[in-house]
Amino acid sequence: KQEVTQIPAALSVPEGENLVLNCSFTDSAIYNLQWFRQDPGKGLTSLLLIQSSQREQTSGRLNASLDKSSGRSTLYIAASQPGDSATYLCAVRESNTGKLIFGQGTTLQVKP
Amino acid sequence: GAVVSQHPSWVICKSGTSVKIECRSLDFQATTMFWYRQFPKQSLMLMATSNEGSKATYEQGVEKDKFLINHASLTLSTLTVTSAHPEDSSFYICSATYGRVYEQYFGPGTRLTVT
């Protein structure tokens, strides 16, 4: 059974810091991996999607990497801003079922 | 493009009543729709997968008679919580996809509170 774990569960940093969020998954048979942002009481915003054959994706200050063989992904946020404060969710899409399995999320607070 | 809406955005109902939540794909035809539930400070848990015109497939532990899912058209799926109880209070999020299961597009969620 696929399990997705995110570390840390919560993170508080001063504005301007670069930071890394970690995601690990137990079954490497994935179709792709996706990082989402969720603001309190809101739905999900897709940030980056990495196909299983890719190593990384970049969008603005965000960079996500994928090491499928070791079951790991990282989300790198450069020059963090207070507006980045949110919960970040990692999810993998299983190859055999197509289901999206979510991690528990990392709640980020960027202090001005 | 690929916008998914949900209605209502929040609803309060009394214990024992039923409530219907709608999920619509606004600018594409959704061959598959997914329903998730999210309890406070927890992640999203898949409840069921529905394909247009066929019965929904429920995840283990989800009562299909309690959570009725109808996917009658390529742009609309509904989730009806029957005989709701306070423990059903949660954030319900739908998502939709088309063609290959490549990327899911998520709705904004519906906050259900059962009193």
Q: Do B44 and A102 touch (CB under 8 A)?
A: yes
Partners of residue B42 in chain A, C-beta under 8 Å: 104
Partners of residue A36 in chain B, C-beta under 8 Å: 106
Task: Give CA separation, B113 vs A43, A70, B86, in Å.
Answer: 17, 41, 7
What is the nearest CA distance from A93 to chain B, expressed in angstroms?
9
Residue B45 to residue B26: CA distance in whole angstroms? 24
Report pLDDT for B89: 96
Partners of residue B95 in chain A, C-beta under 8 Å: 100
**Per-residue pLDDT tens digits of chain A, which is 112 residues long:** 899 999 999 999 999 999 999 999 999 999 999 999 999 888 899 999 999 999 999 999 999 999 999 999 999 999 999 999 999 999 999 988 888 999 999 999 999 9
pLDDT tens-place string over residues B28-52: 888 889 999 998 888 899 999 998 8
Classify strands A10-14 and A62-67 as parallel, antiparallel or unpaired: unpaired
CA dihedral B64, B68, B73, B75 (to 10 degrees): -100
Reading the block at residue B98, the tokens are 């088309």
Task: Say which amino acid occupies B94.
Answer: C
pLDDT tens-place string over residues B3-21: 999 999 999 999 999 999 9
Task: Say which amino acid occupies B38.
Answer: Q
For residue A92, the number of C-alpha atoms closer than 13 Å in the C-beta half-sphere is 27
Q: Looking at chain B, which residue has its C-alpha nearest residue A9?
A: B41
